[in-house]
Structure formats: C-alpha cells, structure tokens
Amino acid sequence: MLLTKAEAAARKVLHESGLDDLATLRTANLRRLILSRGAYYEEIELEGKDGRIVSFEGQSIISISSAILDKGKKRFTAAHELGHFELHKGLVVNADTPYELCNWYQVGNHEKEANEFAAELLMPFNLFADECKNQKFKPALIDHLSNTFVVSRTSSILKFVKAGNHPVCVICTKDNKIKWWKMSAKMESAEHELVPGWMWYVPRFTSNLPPPPDSVVGQLFKKTSRYQDSERFQEIEKSTWFLAKPDDDPKMFEFCHYAPSYNFALSVVWED
C-alpha cells in the first residue's frame, strides 16, 4: 500500500514504540505513548473543543476534553493531537472541535493529516484489512472493528473506505446538508490484490444541499424522533443516490450512523 506522509509517520511511531500486533495495540495507553514521544498529556475541561495542543519553547502540552466519556473517541482524539505533535512542529496552538475530527475530507491539510495519522496509528492497514478479510460491509462488521481496535464507529467507517475489501460510498450530512462524500477507489487487500472500487458511479447529490428525501439519512433528518439503530439499515433503490441505467441491479443498501450531539450523520451505501 502506498502510504501518505501522515500514515508513514504513524507507522514509524508504532515501530519505535513496539506496537506491532493487535494485542499490544488495542491495550496501548495513549497517555504513556504521548509522554514517551516527548509531549505532556492532560485531561481537562475544554469548552467546545475535544482536543488541543499548545507548544512553546520546545515543550508541548496535549489536552483532551474531560467531557469525552467514550473510550474510542478519547483514544482517537489523543492520537489526532499526537499527529499534530509529530507532523506539525511549527504549530504554536491548535484546538480541535468535533467538526474537525468528524469532517476528514473537508477540513484543512493539517487536520486531514492528523486524522490520517490517528487512523493509521490506531487501525494499521494490514491489521485492519485482516479483520475485514472475506467480509462484505454490514453494520455488525463496523461494530466488530470499533470494538477490536477500540475506536469510534465514525473512525471505523472512514478507515473502511480505504482499507476494507468491499467497495462503499460514504456521505457526510450535517444539519441536513451534505458536506462531503468519499467513494472507494481501487483498494489493496491484505494479500496485496486490487479490489475494484466504485469510481464509475455518478452521484445524484450535491454538497450543501439536503440529502435525497427517500434516503435513510433524508428520512432521519425529517423525523422529529430519530430512527432506532435497527431502522438505520435499509434496502434502497440505486437511483436514490446514483444515476442508474435500465439494466442495472436496482438494489442497494444504506446504513446511517447518526451522532445526535453534533446533528451529524455518515451514510454508508453499498451493493450486496
């Protein structure tokens, strides 16, 4: 797999820290890892922010919001700030809101790199691909990946776009407006075989407009009471999200992961 600069930096940290297998990785103490890399770690009240790094005269303090209760989210936030420390030495102060941490493909280059670093640090490609091996996308697989790597559903879904072995399209919607989408390109499996992607599909949706009304996420934002988890996985028509030809198989599936505290949703669309 061709690594980005951020992913290569994460691999270097993993190698130097002895985190070479899944057992040691999933139990790794991020506080100790950050201290071993030369930064100070603390958990404090950070109003409106999930994480922050402050650097002055060669010293750096990584602060994580004490309000974060989910262990997977806290680990990803810490890994994200460590990414800033490893990659962006010139930053004096950088604070990350839930928006930057959720919007991988719409934020600036520094934030994208920190997200890529965190994803590779906590979910190395080869280990992640092994867990996905011979498995099609389904919500239960995302739950398995989240539990296995001790990360959030959001980060598992976004890693799956690159490292999973079943092509998908992920669409981000916030406040009932589509913010970005990402389709699987040709992906490399754990056996270094190329898995076909989805780049030939033509979207029927546009950024900064509401999602299709007949999509799962479109229905979710219409409702005053949100879907239960079991209702967020539904069969849909291909024409809901993409231009369809008469001879196309019309059947697709959509799973919507919704974060009510941010009014933010990730829709995963795939063929069986």
| The model's pTM | 0.87
Looking at the chain, the whole-number percentage of residues with pLDDT higher than 70 is 84
Q: Mean of the per-residue pLDDT values for the chain?
A: 85
Scanning the structure block, which residue is given the tokens 């919704």? 258
Summarize pLDDT for 8-36 with one digit per residue, the tens.
Answer: 999 999 999 999 899 999 889 999 999 99
Which pLDDT belongs to residue 183? 87
Among 18-32, 143-157, 196-210, which stretch is predicted with the lowest mean pLDDT?
Answer: 196-210
- Per-residue pLDDT for 97 more than 70? no
Give the pLDDT score at 102.
60
- Can you tell me the mean pLDDT for 167-188? 85
Q: pLDDT digits over 104-141, tens only?
A: 665 568 888 999 999 999 999 999 999 998 888 999 99
The lowest-confidence range among 61-75, 99-113, 248-262 is 99-113
Half-sphere exposure of 208 (CA within 13 A, CB side): 1
